[in-house]
Amino acid sequence: MTGNPWAGEVVLRLDGRDQVAKLTLGALAEMEAALAAGSLIEVVERFEAGRFTARDVIAVLVAGLRGGGWQGSAAELACAEIGGGPVEGARVAARLLARAFALPEEASCGGSTGPG
């Protein structure tokens, strides 16, 4: 299974099953509240600077998984087996944030937004 990058989707292998994750507006609000962040930009900046915590990764992943339809909790995710381990979990979280805030021309191939 692959996620649709143009729709902001990323796939996370969780307990041997692929799960689609996507940061919807509701998921972003949930993540912001869970992290008690001053702003979403603050969370993005922590990831860009490599200053994120395991708590940040779990919050982003839970929000993204819920945006993709998963019904689990942060406690369930913390106990789950992530394909690729914690490093892959952090990569998926970073991809989710990048795709949630990418402009349409940044998500397309070669920067083109359409024909001609």
Place of tokens 């106990």: 79
Nearest of 15, 16, 103, 9 to residue 65 by alpha carbon: 9
Residuewise pLDDT in 10s, the chain (116 residues): 677 888 889 999 999 999 999 999 888 888 888 887 778 888 888 888 888 889 899 999 999 999 999 999 999 999 999 999 999 999 999 999 988 877 666 554 444 333 33
Distance between CA atoms of 34 and 18, rounded to whole angstroms?
24
- Provide the 10 A C-beta neighbour count for residue 116: 3
